[in-house]
A and B are shown apart, each in its own frame.
Chain A
């Protein structure tokens, strides 16, 4: 377990050194979305029977925590291609499971940090959400999915540019199409069917349900958890593949 802890601790030490810069950078986009969509566009708008800003905040929590936990892939790639630190992990007697676990948990911490920033910003805008155990479990599942996915993609790509391209193709469409900014009920039937295949659809649904104090959609929770488990198992394999 020390191997896993070494990787996790390394990322935490880096976060500690960059803490204020990270918090600041995590705030910019959500703040702009809240001002532009929440205060500007959605001031007189209601979505799923709540004020649009209240609807938007859980979506931003889902989107931002997804983005920041997935961003661990960039960190891994910098350590692989630029600093070559990843070789140090591979040369050490550390299992592939420990590497995948250490990096996934580090990504999850980033995601939870991003979610916390949104909650604080929402408070500034006068939006209160239900911060229940179920809410935090939903956030953790969301960060688990995208952090594990990030480890996969980080092992798959051969250059840093490939990573940016993957983010554009995978993360950006999800950020806008999976119920973060609008209700999925307004989508046409075929589009609704397509977005059900994307993990953020399920996590944004469970995060919003928890944040608004609605009934827990456990089916979506377990589907999301399933995505996370599949991505994590494959990330262990992908780490092994890079080693060979």
Chain B
């Protein structure tokens, strides 16, 4: 369980978080959605004890991340946004070092290493240097590493960034399995379809504040199920409707061309903030 209360963080003149409140239930697959600079990564960095908040409180499974960082760290596994593997070491060596960092007994490290490499389908690359891996293999290894010490909470900070659509979908299967095995997941992503496909609950952040919180389905319904993208000379203007019939009536009255489609989380964000999530 993750509990965030009135979290503030400022970097010089930029307010990254402005009183963020969030409650993530045990076992849920939670998506934190927002554009660049919304405060997603800062939230993850605070929860993973890498950054200290200026004010507020963050608790993971009962452990305050500022007051009890060592206990909080034992509860979590982290897949950072950037690939932070030891490129000169093999996959197996990377996992071994991680096991030692998390105070695992030697036998347990060996066993968990083999299990995790098999889980992410990298058992045949165990003794290869990571520098020879593809982007997808590196991401898989980062996931395996984060799961080595069997954390109850897993933070995935844009884990599929920079991957092609096919590799991304393969990783989704792994991420779903992690959640099905009982771990609570907090995922930050730019990819709307990723959040829609994976998350049971989504929080939308903008300018360091939570502006919406619900299941993807409910958020989309609240925005309007059907979207009409009106193409004008200067811009594409989106209009939201509760039914396809209402949308059709609107389109009939339009002079220019328009596209009628089902709404997604991107539209929810657009309606709430007037901006798009995707870069």
Contacts and interface: CB of A to CB of B under 8 A. Distances in A.
Count class of interface residues, chain A: 20 to 34
Contact of B100 (A6, A17, A244): A6
A10 B89 contact: yes
Contacts, number: 74
B189 interface: no
A92 B86 contact: no
A93 B70 contact: yes
A87 B80 contact: yes
Given A3-B103, A17-B88, A91 B98 contact: no
Interface stretch (B46-54, B111-119, B270-278): B46-54
Contacts of B82: 84
A131 interface: no
Interface of chain B: mostly helix, strand, loop or mixed: loop
A243 B73 contact: no
Interface in A64-109: 83-85, 87-95
A6 B97 contact: yes
B254 interface: no
18 contacts: A2-B100, A83-B85, A83-B86, A83-B87, A85-B84, A87-B50, A89-B101, A91-B49, A91-B50, A91-B73, A91-B78, A93-B70, A93-B101, A93-B102, A93-B103, A94-B101, A243-B49, A244-B51
Interface of B: 48-52, 69-71, 73-74, 76, 78, 80, 82-89, 93, 96-98, 100-104
Interface of A: 2-3, 5-6, 9-10, 13-14, 17-18, 83-85, 87-95, 243-244
Given A3-B101, A85-B85, 17 more contacts: A2-B101, A6-B100, A9-B97, A10-B86, A10-B89, A83-B86, A84-B80, A87-B50, A87-B80, A88-B80, A88-B84, A89-B101, A91-B76, A91-B78, A92-B73, A92-B98, A93-B101
